[in-house]
Amino acid sequence: MTAAPLLPKTAPFSPEDINVLNSVVARTTPLQRSWLAGFFAGFEAAQVGQPQQAAAAKLRVPLTVLYASESGNAEALAMKTKKLAQKHGLDARIIDMVDTDVSILAKAKNLIVFASTWGEGDPPSRAVDFLESLMGDDAPRLEDVRFAVLALGDTAYAQFCATGKVIDERLEALGGKRAADRLDLDLDYAKQAAEWTQGTLTKLAPADAADTATVVHVDFKVPGCVPDDGEPLLTPENPLEVEIAALVNLNGTGSTRETWHVELMADAPGFVYAPGDAIGILPENDPDLALELAEAVGLGADGSVVQKLREGYDITTLSRPLVEAYAKLTGRTDVTRIADQKAFTEFAADRQLVDLFETYSETLAPEQLFDLLRPLPGRLYSVASSPAAHPGETHLLVGAVRWDSHGKKRKGVASTFLADRRKMGDMARIYVKPNRHFRLPDDSARSIIMIGAGTGVAPYRAFVEERAEHGATGKNWLVFGERNYTFDFLYQLEWQEYLESGVLNRIDVAFSRDQPEKIYVQSRLWEQRAEVLKWVEDGAHIYVCGDEKGMGRDVDVMLGRILADAAQGDDEAGRAKLKELTKAGRYQRDLY
């Protein structure tokens, strides 16, 4: 198997060197590449203190790179831009929208915005305040600003790239000069994003920019710490192949849930992660669905098509761009009709790609089919283990997704890949998705309140393990919610041990279906509000992990209410306090 060239043309080497390196790298295994990364990390560390070659640029101009990131993709692109900008004679400042306000825009000469959209079309939660003021009447005029916006999104959701679109339009309305056209990208954004960034930087760069080719120093010594300007070694394009060492459905017989504890043997030198990070799984599709889809377009007999569908393509997501492309390809007016936004929303409700092909059945050639599809994206899971507690391993907590709709049994791709189609001893391909915004306090004497429902408890297992391993003195309080106490108390025996040993100081639980009225984690928070306030006053960090719609929002409202309650019922003061905690990194959320 030959791998695609790993080093991009933009790599800080001569084109010849890039070719030579690529020819070597193409023959390497993920393990070898990890080894190399580790080796150079050590090598660089050893060089510290030696005088660096001074990089003298003839002319350098400032660049502001602003990002609105939820899962870290936009952030990673922003970080990457810093390196490339240097090459173009641009001195980039990388700024998270949560850490700044709109006044920064007026000062920017050159501006690149990386903006994610998530959910049905919402901005990342940390960027909400910034965007509100950007849209507000007091937003500064930006006549002197040259800007470009890259929007990230997911065509599976209704308002594709909405946040980026809104920002792009607003910057222009405020007088900004568009330096490059906005690009809206789907989950397989990496390659196009790199090209766009390259092109945009070229447009923004001063005419006589020096090619300084600064050595990028990457520090891998701190486990899991992805350096500010660095990238993780293991990516969807460069995953690590690992053995599945354990695969257990944690829910007891009788449960309405199915949550899998997955232990992976990830013992490679470059494999580093920290509690709070996510691990990406590169799944394969359900072979039955791949066959069904192939059959729907008359390709069921072609084994290689079915295999490609299974391994490489997203064959579940039904997006509007895809319907448009299908209408164009087939020339069918009935398909064109459902490409209309309203008709599409109606048709797509609880339907998948196979429904489109079966309802509007056409025979396709293999390449016609593949042209319609996007690559199969990886799925992210908050890591459920501490590397200190489980050296060489990483654990995940995966909720199996299954539902019935339109007469078909549907399955989550990655969750059932693990739950149904893999067993202990099989291999899986994974990568690390760092999450700098869901991290234990640097000060281990700080107390933490961990609020999570369902699989949202995963990072807290990692947190508590990590704090136990490092003897952190801060107190730990877990507030956990699920459906039924008897069957769904995820990691119950472990929590009992941590309570016994004093690592876990408090636990509160909310099981929604054990009694006539629904009890959720936020109800417990309200009951314990005096204690919550006490912990917050004492400097505790609050973490929330789990479902955004089902829990994240309600907990957010409740925390605001509790803080307002402490301020004599002043709602404004409550929200302000919550924002203050957010800015101080003491209120961190990992929602999905």
Distance in Å, CB of 253 to another protein, minimum: 6
What phi and psi values does residue 226 have, to the nearest 5 degrees?
A: -85, 120
CB 206 within 8 A of CB 89: yes
Work out whether strand 541-546 and strand 448-453 pair parallel, antiparallel, or are unpaired: parallel
* 400 in contact with another protein (CB under 8 A): no
C-alpha distances out from residue 39 to 42, 151, 239, Å: 5, 35, 18
Interface with another protein (CB under 8 A), residue from 254, 331, 425, 471: 254
Return the number of the residue (224 or 399) whose C-beta is nearest another protein: 399
Identify the CA nearest to 387 among candidates 283, 472, 268, 498: 268
Sketch the per residue contact string, 513 through 552, with another protein: x for CB under 8 A, - otherwise. Answer: -xxx------------------------------------
Residue 490 touching another protein (CB under 8 A): yes
DSSP 11: S
Distance CA 548, CA 157 (A): 15
**One residue of 22, 192, 249, 330 binding another protein per CB under 8 A:** 249
Instruction: Tell me the closest approach of the beta carbon of residue 381 to another protein, in angstroms.
Output: 17
Give min distance, CB of 152 to another protein, in A: 37
Given 109, 420, 496, 530, the residue binding another protein (CB under 8 A): 496
Nearer to another protein, 250 or 266 (CB): 250
Quickly list H helices, 224-319.
287-296, 303-312
Looking at the DSSP assignment, which residues form a beta bridge with residue 482? 511
3-state secondary structure of 552: helix
Using CB under 8 A as the binding rule, whether residue 252 contacts another protein is answered as: yes
Structure tokens, 160: 């594709």
The reply on whether position 330 binds another protein by CB under 8 A is: no
568 in contact with another protein (CB under 8 A): no
3-state helix, strand, coil in the chain (%, to 5): 40, 20, 40
Q: How far is the CB of 448 from another protein (least distance, A)?
A: 18
Tokens of 308: 């490609």
For another protein, the binding residue among 210, 218, 507, 573 (CB under 8 A) is 507
H or E stretch at 333: helix 333-339
Separation of alpha carbons 456 and 448, rounded Å: 15
495 sits near another protein (criterion: CB under 8 A): yes
- Smaller CB separation from another protein, 149 or 490: 490
Q: For residue 494, state whether it binds another protein (rule: CB under 8 A).
A: yes
Tokens of 298: 């008359």
Does 508 participate in binding another protein (rule CB under 8 A)?
yes
Tokens coding 180: 């490059």
Q: Cβ distance 78 to 111 under 8 Å?
A: no
Q: Which stretch binds another protein (CB under 8 A): 25-33, 111-119, 342-350, 491-499?
A: 491-499
> Is residue 499 at the binding interface for another protein, with CB under 8 A as the rule?
yes
Q: Considering CB under 8 A, how many residues would be counted as binding another protein?
A: 27
Q: Which residues bind another protein (CB under 8 A)?
A: 248-254, 261, 485-487, 489-496, 499, 507-509, 511, 514-516
